[in-house]
């Protein structure tokens, strides 16, 4: 299969390197709580083993505590609890992050659509 100049190439290596440079991690995102920064797994970028474990937890009916520990990792989860954190805090952080990511995706899509539609509208005005 070949690529022509009109087909964009998705360079995952470059995306992950840029994320490492910008965020500080290839697969986690930072969250501030209790005066500290915590590194939470981004499920969109997690490895297969982590995702399999998450699926197993879901299949087993894991509660919020097990999920919070999975997203933070055992060591960080222990420190998070010692700082006053609760499982519901971690779940709220994850929800907020997912909403933020969805909004970014929506904004990117709307920006593309609106520019196309405004270009069409300009052409129609010129034709009249």
Q: 23-69, pLDDT tens digit by residue?
A: 999 999 999 999 999 999 999 999 999 999 999 999 999 999 999 99
| Nearest residue to 74 via CA among 97, 50, 48 | 50
pLDDT at residue 127 greater than cutoff 60 = no
User: DSSP character for 24?
Assistant: S
Mean pLDDT across the stretch 75-89? 98
Q: Is the pTM of this model over 0.85?
A: no
Residue 116: per-residue pLDDT: 46
Q: How far is CA 114 from CA 19, 106, 110, 117, 123, in A?
A: 27, 12, 6, 5, 14
CA angle 9, 102, 66 (to 5 degrees): 110
């Amino acid at each position: 299969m070949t690529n022509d100049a009109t087909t964009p190439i998705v360079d995952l290596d470059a995306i992950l390197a840029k994320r490492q440079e910008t965020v500080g991690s290839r697969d986690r995102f930072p969250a501030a709580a209790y005066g500290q920064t915590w590194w939470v797994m981004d499920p969109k970028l997690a490895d297969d083993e982590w995702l399999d474990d998450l699926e197993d937890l879901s299949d087993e009916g894991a509660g919020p505590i097990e999920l919070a520990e999975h997203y933070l990792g055992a060591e960080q989860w222990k420190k998070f609890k010692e700082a006053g954190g609760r499982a519901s805090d971690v779940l709220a952080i994850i929800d907020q992050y997912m909403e933020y990511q969805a909004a970014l995706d929506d904004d990117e899509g709307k920006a593309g659509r609106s520019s196309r539609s405004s270009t069409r509208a300009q052409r129609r005005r010129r034709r009249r």
